[in-house]
Chain A
Amino acid sequence: MSTKMIHALYTDDDVLLSAVKQVRDKHYHIEEVFTPFPVHGLEKAMGIADTRLAINAFLYGIVGLCVATAMMNYIMIEDWPQDIGGKPSFSYLENMPAFVPIMFELTVFFAAHLMVITFYMRSRLWPFKKAENPDVRTTDDHFLMEIDTHGADEEEVTKFLYETGAVEIKLIDKEAH
């Protein structure tokens, strides 16, 4: 196993995109790409699998709907079916229109909040997390591609990256990083 990584910096998102494609063609392994803003089409170029966050949200929504239904059915119908203003609390279905606003809101509430929390967990984000920024410039106007050479000739990789339009290439020790 190699202990070396290469950091290649770019100053333009179009150059970065074409570089990613070339690096993938060469079968070098891209460890990570840091960009200051979303680059359209980057995840496709890198071959990253689609997110399943939307599927999560759908399932959370169903949970929310179930919670709302179970809660109101228990409170309003089973536990204490009081006559409130003549509303028919004999069965859930009979009084359902009155419950729909809450069913809707809880569906949205569960779907939205649980999805956001899932996102934080999956992308490991929390308030006192140590930032993992390899180069401060990547938050402003530089794009950084991190390549694991896997024991390939570093000289050769460096030369290749230079040709893809990198403005700066750094050899990094994995441990130090």
Chain B
Amino acid sequence: MYKVTSKLKTFAIALMVVGALFTAVGFWAVPSSQAEVQQMIDDDAAAHGGAHGMESNEHGLAEDAHKEAGHVAAPSSEEHATDDAHAGGHDDDHAMHMYHQLQNRPWSAVYIAAFFFFMIGLGSLAFLALQKVSQAGWSPVLFRVMEGISSYILPGGIIMFILLLLSGLHFNHIFVWMEEGVDVLGNENYDAIIAAKTGYLNVPFWLFRAGAFIVGWNLYLWNIRRFGLKQDEAKDGDISWYKKGFKHSAMFLVFFIVTESIMSWDWIMSFDPHWFSTLFGWYVFASMFVSGITTIALVTIFLKSKGYLEFVNDSHIHDLAKFMFGISIFWTYLWFSQFMLIWYANIPEEVTYFVTRIQDYNILFFGMVAINFLFPLLILMNSDFKRVNWFVVTAGLFIIIGHYLDIYVMVMPATVGESWFIGFPEIGSFLFFAGLFIFYIFRTISKTPLIPKGDPFLGESKHFHY
């Protein structure tokens, strides 16, 4: 049995406290009125001399992706950039636009961090189900670690649902399609494109879907944990609980791939309701899968170093590192497939998604790809390196940070546009949810023995050697 040390508890709680403080600073620092933003812009313009005109042009581009009343087709970016009158006459619009962006920033920061850690739990759960269904001979000694990490989807799912509920109740404006009157003809917020999608994108149905998915995933998690513990107590040769777990895992995987896809449209893609991509669900899945596997590896190495996982050897770590390596490349493949297809065809209504990201998030957008692709590729290619703990941990930390940034550039351009920064609310909410995550998963891991002794593949797993 693992026991959570007070040191780890203190560390997790400290992360939460510091994170909460930083996040609070982020919320407090939001300008309280449009006039204040106007003041900021004027100060900025004074400091930069004639830079203001240029800024406005950039701002015009960002607006393409953002909701703009009455635009049936998004205007091409060129039109905006050359429209000099735009810079002069729309000062008020500009201030209002920026005010909304700054208001969105702390909310988006919390949303990104909440989703990121939730998705680690969900990715780990999908991995666990996959291991059960494929009857993997190497992984049973790690099942309790995977279950522990997956267990975060209960608190994480509740937090996600609360965040979605708050958005639905208009506590924030991070989802532009929820704007009042967006589907009412003649309203100043009217948007024909969004109005045509309200059959799918309406708050009650959207919340219902989210609730149903979270309940469904948690139901499987609860069942598979229960079955595993029952199997531990079963008589020798009785593997009925194991078989039950097998069937549930197979059904879960079918449920998961459908719901995960819809979840990614609902929770991420709907930030850009004018934009759509068919492989988006897979792309988000690859991101959550690789983060989940990486976290499994990191927690395993941590527990092993504390002397709790006696049967885990470097071959198990090697296998996890291979998965990290392979799925990182799979993620890159999907990222590139999405990017290249849209870049190549260059259809205005699709390409704005990447135009805003390349213009306003250039370093972050491409840096994130480098971190998520080049680092795992070069660090984890060598077979010997995959057995060295500190190599795996280094690659793992890069992958975790890289995929946080991945979610960041999925969400932020649509909610805060060019007003982004990685400061108090972003770091704060990341630390807060990291603390909560660590606290919760280690608490779950400490509740059950670390070896699922009833698993029929346990013997093979204990002697696994690559």
Residues of A near any B CB (own CB < 8 A): 54, 58, 86, 97-98, 100
| Chain A residues in 8 Å Cβ range of B344 | 97-98
Cβ–Cβ contact B381 & A97, under 8 A: no
- Contacts of A97 on B, CB cut-off 8 Å? 336, 339-340, 343-344
Q: Which chain B residue has the least Cβ–Cβ distance from A98?
A: B344
- A157 to chain B: closest CB distance in Å? 33
Closest to A55 in B: B382
Count residues of B near A (Cβ-Cβ below 8 Å).
8
- Some 12 contacts from A to B, beta carbons below 8 A apart, are A54-B383, A58-B381, A86-B346, A97-B336, A97-B339, A97-B340, A97-B343, A97-B344, A98-B340, A98-B344, A100-B336, A100-B340
Q: Which residue of A lies closest to B339 (CB)?
A: A97
Contacts of A86 in B (CB 8 A): 346
Least CB distance from B335 to A in Å reads 11
Which residues in B have their C-beta under 8 angstroms from that of A100?
336, 340
Q: When chains A and B are docked, how far (Å) is the Cα of A58 from the Cα of B344?
A: 30
Task: List 5 additional contacts besides A97-B344, A98-B344; criterion CB under 8 Å.
Answer: A54-B383, A58-B381, A86-B346, A97-B336, A97-B339
- CA A98 – CA B343 in complex, angstroms? 9
B interface: dominant SS: helix
Q: Which of B352-386 contact A (CB under 8 A)?
A: 381, 383
Q: In the docked arrangement, what's the CA distance between A14 and B100, Å?
A: 73
Nearest Cβ on chain B to A72's Cβ, whole angstroms: 15
Contacts of B336 in A (CB 8 A): 97, 100
Instruction: List residues 311-329 of chain B with CB under 8 A from any CB of chain A.
Output: none
Q: How far is the CA of A98 from the CA of B381 in the complex (A)?
A: 26
Residues of A within 8 A of B339 (CB): 97
CB within 8 Å of A: which of B335-349? 336, 339-340, 343-344, 346
B 415-458 binary contact with A (CB < 8 Å = 1; else 0): 00000000000000000000000000000000000000000000
Roughly how many angstroms separate A68 CA and B383 CA in the complex, as a whole number?
27
A100 to B381: give the CA distance in the assembly, Å: 20
CA distance A97 to B346 in the complex (A): 12
Query: Among A58, A86, A97, A100, which residue has the most Cβ atoms of chain B within 10 A?
Result: A97
Chain B 46-81: CB-based contact to A (< 8 A → 1; otherwise 0): 000000000000000000000000000000000000
Query: What residue in chain B is nearest A101 (Cβ atoms)?
Result: B340
Residues of B within 8 A of A98 (CB): 340, 344
A54 to B343, CA, bound (A): 35
Instruction: Find chain B residues with CB under 8 A from A54 CB.
Output: 383
Nearest A residue (CB) for B340: A97
- Could you tell me the distance between the alpha carbons of A159 and B346 in the complex, rounded to whole angstroms? 79
Query: Please, which residues of chain A bring their CB within 8 A of the CB of B381?
Result: 58
Enumerate chain A residues within 8 angstroms of B340, measured Cβ to Cβ.
97-98, 100
State A54–B383 Cα separation when bound (angstroms).
10
Given the complex of chains A and B, what is the CA–CA distance between A110 and B182 in angstroms?
55
Closest Cβ of chain A to B321, distance in Å, is 16
CA distance A147 to B383 in the complex (A): 33
Q: In the complex, A97 Cα to B338 Cα: how many Å?
A: 11
Q: How far is the CA of A98 from the CA of B339 in the complex (A)?
A: 11
Measured CA separation A114–B344 after assembly (Å): 32
Query: Closest approach, in angstroms, between the C-beta of B50 and any C-beta of chain A?
Result: 28
Q: How far is the CA of A58 from the CA of B343 in the complex (A)?
A: 30
| Min CB gap B345→A, angstroms | 10
CA distance A54 to B386 in the complex (A): 15
CB distance from A142 to the nearest CB of B (A): 28
- State the Cβ distance, B300 to closest chain A Cβ, in Å: 26
- Give bound CA distance, A86 to B340, whole Å: 15
List the A side residues contacting B346 at CB < 8 Å: 86
Measured CA separation A84–B34 after assembly (Å): 47
In whole angstroms, how far apart are the Cα atoms of A151 and B317 in the complex?
47
**For window 154-209 of chain B, which residues contact chain A by CB distance below 8 Å?**
none
Q: Once bound together, how far apart are the Cα atoms of A156 and B53, in whole Å?
A: 96
Q: How long is the Cα–Cα vector from A98 to B336 in the complex, in angstroms? A: 11
CA distance A132 to B94 in the complex (A): 82
Residues of A within 8 A of B383 (CB): 54
Instruction: Give Cα A97 to B358, complex, Å.
Output: 14
